[in-house]
Amino acid sequence: MVMQKYLDPKNDVAFKRLFGTEKNKEILVNFLNDVLCRSNIIEEVEFLPTINIPDSAEQRVSIVDVMCRDKAGAKFIIEMQVVSTLEYLKRAQYYAARAYVGQRTKEVKYKDLKEVIFLAICNQTILPEHEHYISYHVMLEQSTHKNHLKDFSYTFIELEKFNKSAEELSSQLDKWIYFFKHAEEGEVFPQQLMKDEHIHQALDEMKSFNWSEEELLAYEHVEYEHYAYIEGMALAKEDGKKIGEQIGLEKGKIEGKIEIAKKLKDVGMNDKQIAAITELTIDEISKIL
């Protein structure tokens, strides 16, 4: 196993450890405040289930990386998107809508629905026409540009567009983006960032010697899946066919079903229910769970 001082925070396992665990809640709160620049400072958050079970078999299960709620009831969805896809912007809106609709119960009136804030860190470009590395999206009335429909907002950080050196970092936002883009590159990190309390806490979580052998194996499994997909896409480009792409997509589908099955098991669903949702067979489920 190849060891390194800092693991990659873009890795799904590392990202969820960094932002989705109780012990690192302070890191998440600081990150949200630094990046979103909201008028209301977030002081505390409560983690919410990241898996949304559909009401009917026809609907898809939706899973996000991290979801939480602040004291005012606002929901925050935090996502790491390593591979850019054409459908990601649609998926972001779908996730936000599901989180919004999920608040509605007999006891909750329409006027009491709280806002949903979607924040994604994208390793690749998803908005090629937008030059800056961060974009904030809200709904505005076309002629007055007033924000009447305030319950949805989207923020996208595109790492591929960020080219600042450590000496050029001018804000806390820049420091966070630099951390995500460069944390895994070596054992030495710029001292000016090491002195920053929030970034230092995040870096400590990415030190490989703070991880157990089981955690490192899970981390490396995700790395393998990612590189297998990339290799498949590269193969498709080289031979002008869709073979490589299909390999990557099929592998992703299978791994995705397994991940969903594990999370459904964790929330108490039986094998028959899991099979109906994931389309895995009972025999397959018994082997992987």
Residues in the chain with pLDDT < 50?
Answer: 1-3
Tell which residue, 128, 132, 119, 124, has the closest CA to residue 85: 124
pLDDT-above-70 percentage for the chain:
82
Grouping H, G, I as helix, E, B as strand and the rest as coil, residue 98 is: helix
Q: Which of 128, 116, 126 is nearest to 154 (CA)?
A: 116
Task: Give dist(CA 175, CA 192) in Å, integer.
Answer: 9
- Which pLDDT value is given to residue 2? 47
- Phi, psi angle pair for 189, to nearest 5°: -115, 145
Burial classification of residue 274, based on how many CB atoms lie within 10 Å of its CB (0-12 exposed, 13-18 middle, 19 or more buried): buried
For the record, the structure tokens of 105 come out as: 């119960």
Report CA 283 to chain centroid distance, whole Å.
31
What percent of the chain lies above the pLDDT cut of 90? 53
Question: Cα–Cα distance between 262 and 285 in angstroms, integer?
Answer: 9
- Roughly how many angstroms between the first and final C-alpha of the chain, as a whole number? 25
Q: What is the predicted pLDDT for the residue at 26?
A: 96
**Domain positions in the chain:** 1-211, 212-289
Determine the Cα–Cα distance for residues 187 and 60; give it in Å rounded to an integer: 42
pLDDT score, position 224: 75
Helix (H) or strand (E) holding 220: helix 213-239
pLDDT digits (tens, 9 = 90+) for 22-68: 999 999 999 999 999 888 899 999 999 988 655 555 556 667 899 99
Which helix (H) or strand (E) covers residue 205, if one does?
Answer: helix 197-205
Nearest 5°: phi and psi at 134? -135, 140
pLDDT reported for residue 20: 95
57 is written with which tokens? Answer: 């078999």
What is the amino acid identity at position 186? Answer: G
DSSP letter (8 states) at residue 86:
T
Tell whether pTM > 0.95. no
List, in order, residues 6 or more apart from 129 with CB less than 8 Å away: none
- Measuring CA to CA, how many Å separate 163 from each of 8, 168, 182, 202, 274? 18, 9, 11, 21, 44
- Residue carrying structure tokens 């998803």: 126
